[in-house]
Amino acid sequence: MNTHTSGLGVHHLRILFGPLYGADLSLPSRQVFFCVGDSVTGEQPLSENMVHALNATSDSIYIPYRAGAANFKLKFDDFPNETKGKGGRTVSHGHDFEIEFLSPDSVQRHPAQYNTLCCFGDIVFAVKPENVPWSEEVSAFTRDCADQKEIDAGPVTQIGPRARLWSRIKLITKIGAILLGGTALTALGYWQITRYQRAREVASVSNLLGHAPTPNVVLAGRDGAIHVLNASQDSVDWDEQALMKSDVRERVDVASLPAERQRLERELDLRGIDFVTVRLDSPTHPELVLSSGSAHVVESAVNGLRQAAPYIQNVSVRTVGVTTLEQEARAALDAVGLRYQRLARENGATFDVSGALTDGELAQLQNLIGRFARKWGTRRVDFKVAMRTDWLKGKSYREGGEGYMLIDHASWYFPQPLRGAP
């Protein structure tokens, strides 16, 4: 992809990492995929098959770098954020383009602006329109080169009758090392190909579901499936319809975050684990909340979560006592100014909220219960609402010191005692 096309649609990318540090690339396409792979040196150039594959792939560029680095894609579509200011200078509003960082287990999207440093781990680059000079921030960016250390292993010289035997041992050792190295390189190559293929599969599903009503979290699982999680059930239905109409061959499991949380909690219940809740704020790194537990219980719970959800990488464990949860519930109810009473139950408590609540108080109570349930679940502390209706609502009322209400055609109600009454 070495074609250079002048015009406002052409962008320049400056590489600020790896062997191609400082190189400027011309990007005439609106979407460009960058494959970041192992570093290529003069002694180990790209193979003919790799060169052919990269040349045949549309709008793709290979950047040599360390193994394990994330691939990324630049998208310049549908970002009409550039206008011309005074002096013909380009003025940017919001973000100018979008970056997708593609890893085997996730896809992360980030909005970006021209002439700023775009960083993801140790990957650094910058993008600008062709007719705009590089900013001071980009031009002044430098990176120290790592020191190269050479290890000089001198030859071993044997004298006496054992020299021939030692030479044979060295020969066998070298052959074994070569075979072992070849096996390792083969395994590494297979792993790289599999990793790249998984990243492309995740990216394909992510692009397919990119217009869902609410954002999706697309994850690769150890079971070979792609797992899609969404905050709402409406978006789950939308995702399932989109997948049915597509030609995706991979197995894709779609679920809402509340439903996934309930499923994981059921799995822990089946294992007999006593816990408070499971938080999925970060699905690949969930938080398990316990009220107490030994190391054996923690290990069993973590293993259970990893088996039930193959997309989970690490599980953090937090211990919170029931007393702390009750204190937080009391403080939240007191802040709203609601009347309540505590009802004790096994391993927890229920807060019974009663009274004739106004619409505003009822809305505040619903928000309070929702926030508390998302944070701590309902296994230890929950809420019960006993609404009291206003039996005078809708009745005829006369204002004044002796106000009254017409209950029915023959009954009157005086909220205050009449003057002069004993």
Burial (0-12, 13-18, 19+ Cβ within 10 Å), 200: middle
Distance of CA 266 to the CA centre of its chain: 23
Kindly list the distances between the CA atom of residue 91 and the CA atoms of 55, 132, 305, in Å, as whole numbers in the listed order. Answer: 35, 11, 49
Question: 3-state class of 20 per DSSP?
Answer: coil
Show the low-confidence residues of the chain (pLDDT under 70). Answer: 1-8, 38-58, 78-94, 143-165, 167, 182, 185-197, 387-422
CA torsion angle for 163, 167, 169, 170 (degrees, to 10)? 130
CA dihedral 188, 198, 258, 216 (to 10 degrees): 130
Residue 340's SS3 state is strand
Query: How does pLDDT run across 337-392, given as a tens digit for each residue?
Result: 888 899 998 889 999 998 777 888 888 999 999 999 999 999 999 998 876 655 55
Asked if 195 contacts 106 with a C-beta cutoff of 8 angstroms, the reply is no
The confidence score (pLDDT) of residue 361 equals 84
- Among 59, 68, 81, which Cα is nearest to 192's? 68
CA atoms of 340 and 327, how far apart (whole Å):
13
Q: What is the C-alpha to C-alpha distance for residues 422 and 420, in angstroms, rounded to an integer?
A: 6
Task: Please tell me the predicted confidence (pLDDT) of residue 389.
Answer: 57
Mode of pairing for the β-strands spanning 287-290 and 277-279: antiparallel
Q: Write the DSSP symbol of residue 161.
A: T
Statement: the pTM of the whole predicted model exceeds 0.75: no
Six-digit token pair at 378? 């309902």
Q: Which two tokens stand for residue 234?
A: 């409406």
> What are the tens digits of pLDDT across the range 48-82?
544 444 444 568 888 998 888 889 999 987 555 55
Burial class (CB in 10 A: 0-12, 13-18, 19+), 218: buried
Evaluate whether 404 touches 398 at the Cβ level (below 8 Å): yes
DSSP 388: -
Position 44 scores a pLDDT of: 46
pLDDT at 5: 42
Enclosing H/E stretch for 329? helix 322-336
H or E element at residue 34: strand 31-37
Neighbours of 261 (CB within 10 A): 20
Q: Which domains does the chain have, with CATH numbers?
A: 11-139 (2.60.200.20), 216-319 (3.30.300.170), 322-387 (3.30.70.1770), 395-422 (no CATH)
Contacts within 8 Å (CB) and 24+ apart, 410-418: none
Query: In which element (H, E) is residue 199 found?
Result: helix 163-208
* Farthest-apart Cα atoms in the chain, separation: 133
According to DSSP, the residues that pair with 383 across neighbouring strands are: 351
